[in-house]
Amino acid sequence: MAIRPILIAGDPRLTTYAVPVAEFDAALAAFVDDLFETNTAAHGAGLAANQVGDPRAVFVYDLNDGGVRHRGHVVNPVLETSAIPETMPDPEDTEGCLSVPGERYPTGRAEWARVTGVDVEGDPVTVEGHGYLARCLQHECDHLAGHLYLDRLIGRNQRAAKKMIKSMGWVEPGNSWLPGSDSDPFGW
């Protein structure tokens, strides 16, 4: 297993639609192990393959929601949600991202989500949840569709994020950080 560098906003690999996985082999299983190790080192709730520069449609999640631990992975995910709010989110309802290190913005998400797909062996998987788990599932599926959570921001939050991206110099490809080696941008 290996901890991989996490790409930062501005890299075009983060805005490219993921490629469906066709080969279910030991290499895929090892890659999923790397995603888990990288996510753990980064203190993340989830990590999509394109965040480490891999084009495959796979993500991992590992989070506590209401005292319940949810941990797993989904290959070739398909997302369903309840209605997504279109109004300004509660200022306390913030979201962060390992590819937007150290930043958090209020982000509207559906209260319920279900993801179907397969595991590393090609067996069917379904993950369903409310609240934080639902947010994570939507966030990771967005990554695989070539979207950062910043794309969902509206109003003043969207304007603030655009200014932040410019001020951080995240307008060029090639920026990344290595969990466990670089300082933790979230202060964990």
List the catalytic residues.
Answer: 140
DSSP H or E stretch at residue 130: strand 124-130
Q: Is 97 annotated as a binding residue?
A: yes
Interatomic CA distance for residues 83 and 151, integer angstroms: 17
Interatomic CA distance for residues 29 and 47, integer angstroms: 15
| Residue 14 contacts residue 99 (beta carbons within 8 Å) | yes
Interatomic CA distance for residues 88 and 41, integer angstroms: 33
User: Looking at this protein, which amino acid is placed at residue 94?
Assistant: T
| Residue 28 contacts residue 53 (beta carbons within 8 Å) | no
Short-list 95, 172, 93, CA closest to 138: 95
Dig out the tokens for 71 from the structure.
Answer: 């941990």
Interatomic CA distance for residues 105 and 93, integer angstroms: 8
Q: Is 43 annotated as a binding residue?
A: no
Q: Is 141 annotated as a binding residue?
A: no
Short-list 126, 121, 138, CA closest to 45: 138
Place of tokens 């999509």: 48
Q: Which residues are annotated as a binding site?
A: 97, 139, 143
Query: Which residues participate in the annotated binding site for Fe cation?
Result: 97, 139, 143
